[in-house]
């Protein structure tokens, strides 16, 4: 097995970080001198063209055949001359939340290409397909994982009628990108896939607190996203007595504290109300209507379902107590998923063989792996997030941790190539 020098691995780690920061400059936000970089890159917006062009050049330089499927995933295939067995899928997403960091998603794509280079240097007979998923975050449209659902063959084509804040349907956005939405079913992977590996920053503090560079993901929490609307009555702020008010915002605030209490008193449950809009949104007018988002997550689907039910009941009780109405809708629901034991075991063995302590942790964040796991064996490798910071411009990654991921990848690919047709992955 060909080994790289420590110097080469460290140089490549630094280059990978620099590449992520370069891609971060491909943003919907204008780049201004002397100002911090702001990265916002939503599904099939103009900056995605730049990211595709950059990654396509990287893939072609590695001798990969490249195409963009009908949902906008950029896909590169390395088919070695001595190829045997099924192909390995690697990848992550290239869309971002507003004002994002440089590494969420993108690092997984950049490192996937580095793993292809490692496989080539070892002359491994392992076909590898790298996927840069076009949509995972659910930011432009009120639905997540469009790309991985298409790859898994589970995308409900009814979502193509959903519209963004500008009234643009998903179907129209796809056509504007030069793609044909009628070909989305053809994006689904075939049976010639041995598994999917996703490299990703942890986006949490566990590895940083423990001083560890890497961890194998044991499972991904289920998540439900809901929308709530409290409907009261707008009125004059100065002339309406407190006991005669039907204040939608006051009701929403009461409910929000109840949701926080529910999460704090339910082990493992996390609840986030991250988006709030109110009408008429004026200083001297009692709020008449408030819309809120609710994001619930837990590793146990039963606990998650009970939390959802309690959230609705608390909203209804709060509204009734104040003489208001409340409406709610479930926007997305993804069950929790365990990563494939055999593939995860191979990944953990590679981490240990590379000289790092083995560690397994659950993921509270959703990832494309949770969708593909229903179709093919899937596993994830986390890299430490310094300070536990993510979804923020201060998000970063350590050079030595990227180096650890490269060392692990070299060993993992060698092991998996040898067992491609063996029972370990059957």
**pLDDT (0 to 100) of residue 60:** 98
Tens digit of each residue's pLDDT (9 = 90 or more) over 131-176: 999 999 999 998 999 999 999 999 999 999 999 999 999 999 999 9
**pLDDT (0 to 100) of residue 290:** 98
CA nearest neighbour of 47 among 98, 109, 91: 98
Is the CB of residue 276 less than 8 Å from the CB of residue 291?
yes
Q: Answer yes or no: is pLDDT of 423 > 70.
A: no
Q: Answer yes or no: is pLDDT of 2 > 70.
A: no
Domain ranges within the chain, ordered by starting residue: 6-221+336-425, 222-334
* Residues listed for the chain: 426
CA 293, 339, 216, 12: dihedral to nearest 10 degrees? -90
**pLDDT (0 to 100) of residue 5:** 67
> What number is the average pLDDT over the span 386-411?
97
Tokens 């790309």 label which residue? 147
Secondary-structure breakdown of the chain: helix, strand, coil percentages, each rounded to the nearest 5: 40, 20, 40
Q: Answer yes or no: is pLDDT of 34 > 70.
A: no
CA atoms within 13 A on the CB side of 69: 27
Structure tokens, 75: 């896909």
**pLDDT (0 to 100) of residue 424:** 41
Torsion sign across C-alpha atoms 160, 161, 164, 166: positive
Tens digit of each residue's pLDDT (9 = 90 or more) over 78-128: 999 989 899 999 999 999 999 999 999 999 999 999 999 999 999 999 999
Q: Answer yes or no: is pLDDT of 406 > 70.
A: yes
> What number is the average pLDDT over the span 389-407?
96
In angstroms, the CA 364 to CA 282 distance is: 37
Contacts of 257 (CB under 8 A, 6+ apart): none
Q: Answer yes or no: is pLDDT of 36 > 90.
A: no
**pLDDT (0 to 100) of residue 1:** 44
**pLDDT (0 to 100) of residue 245:** 97
Q: Answer yes or no: is pLDDT of 33 > 70.
A: no
In angstroms, the CA 400 to CA 397 distance is: 9
pLDDT, the chain, mean: 94
C-alpha radius of gyration, the chain, whole number: 23
Tens digit of each residue's pLDDT (9 = 90 or more) over 184-193: 999 999 999 9
> What number is the average pLDDT over the span 221-226?
94
CB atoms closer than 10 angstroms to residue 297: 24
Q: Answer yes or no: is pLDDT of 286 > 70.
A: yes
> What number is the average pLDDT over the span 287-300?
97
In angstroms, the CA 332 to CA 351 distance is: 34
**pLDDT (0 to 100) of residue 334:** 86
Helix (H, G, I), strand (E, B) or coil at 272: strand
Torsion sign across C-alpha atoms 76, 82, 86, 88: negative
Q: Answer yes or no: is pLDDT of 262 > 60.
A: yes
Q: What percent of the chain has pLDDT over 70?
A: 96
In angstroms, the CA 382 to CA 401 distance is: 10
> What number is the average pLDDT over the span 230-240?
97
> What number is the average pLDDT over the span 358-376?
94
Q: Answer yes or no: is pLDDT of 303 > 90.
A: yes
CATH assignment, 222-334: 3.30.70.360
> What number is the average pLDDT over the span 231-257?
97
**pLDDT (0 to 100) of residue 37:** 77
Reported as a pLDDT band with limits 50, 70 and 90, residue 425 is very low
Reported as a pLDDT band with limits 50, 70 and 90, residue 19 is very high
CA nearest neighbour of 108 among 362, 367, 365: 367
> What number is the average pLDDT over the span 192-209?
97
In degrees and rounded to multiples of 5, residue 70 shows phi and psi of -75, -10
Q: Answer yes or no: is pLDDT of 407 > 50.
A: yes
Q: Write down the H helix ranges in 329-398.
A: 341-353, 369-372
> What number is the average pLDDT over the span 355-363?
95
> What number is the average pLDDT over the span 391-400?
96
**pLDDT (0 to 100) of residue 190:** 95
- CATH fold for the domain made of 6-221+336-425: Aminopeptidase (3.40.630)
């Amino acid at each position: 097995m060909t080994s790289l020098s420590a110097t080469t691995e460290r140089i490549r780690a630094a280059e990978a970080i620099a590449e992520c920061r370069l891609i971060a400059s491909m943003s919907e936000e204008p780049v201004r001198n002397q100002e911090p970089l702001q990265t916002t890159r939503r599904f099939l917006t103009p900056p995605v063209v730049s990211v595709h062009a950059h990654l396509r050049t990287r893939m072609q330089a590695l001798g990969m055949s490249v195409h963009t499927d009908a949902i906008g995933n950029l896909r590169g295939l390395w088919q070695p001359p001595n190829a045997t067995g099924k192909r390995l899928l690697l990848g992550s997403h290239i869309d971002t939340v507003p004002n994002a960091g440089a590494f969420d998603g993108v690092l997984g794509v950049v490192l996937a290409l580095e793993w292809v280079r490692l496989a080539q240097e070892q002359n491994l007979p392992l076909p590898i397909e790298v996927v840069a998923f076009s949509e995972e975050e659910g930011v432009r449209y009120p639905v997540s994982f469009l790309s991985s659902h298409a790859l898994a063959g589970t995308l409900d084509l009814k979502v193509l009628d959903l519209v963004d804040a500008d009234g643009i349907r998903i179907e129209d956005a796809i056509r504007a990108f030069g793609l044909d939405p009628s070909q989305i079913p053809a994006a689904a992977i075939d049976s010639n896939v041995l598994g999917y590996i996703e490299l990703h920053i942890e986006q949490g503090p566990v590895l940083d607190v423990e001083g560890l560079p890497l961890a194998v993901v044991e499972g991904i929490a289920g998540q439900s996203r809901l929308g709530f609307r409290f409907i009261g009555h707008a009125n004059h702020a100065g002339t309406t007595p407190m006991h005669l008010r039907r204040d939608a915002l006051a009701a929403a605030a009461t409910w929000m504290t109840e949701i926080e209490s529910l999460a704090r008193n339910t082990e493992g449950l996390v609840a986030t109300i991250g988006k709030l809009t109110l009408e008429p949104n004026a200083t001297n007018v009692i709020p008449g209507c408030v819309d809120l988002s609710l994001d619930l997550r837990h590793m146990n689907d039963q606990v998650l379902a009970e939390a959802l039910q309690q959230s609705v009941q608390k909203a209804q009780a709060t509204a009734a107590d104040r003489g208001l109405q409340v409406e709610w809708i479930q926007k997305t629901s993804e069950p929790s998923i365990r990563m494939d034991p055999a593939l995860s075991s191979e990944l953990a063995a590679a981490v240990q063989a590379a000289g790092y302590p083995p560690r397994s942790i659950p993921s509270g964040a959703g990832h494309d792996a949770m969708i593909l796991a229903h179709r093919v064996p899937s596993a994830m490798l986390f890299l430490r997030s310094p300070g536990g910071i993510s979804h923020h411009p201060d998000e970063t990654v350590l050079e030595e941790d990227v180096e650890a991921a490269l060392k692990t990848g070299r060993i993992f690919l060698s092991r998996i190539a040898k067992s491609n047709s063996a029972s370990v992955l059957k």
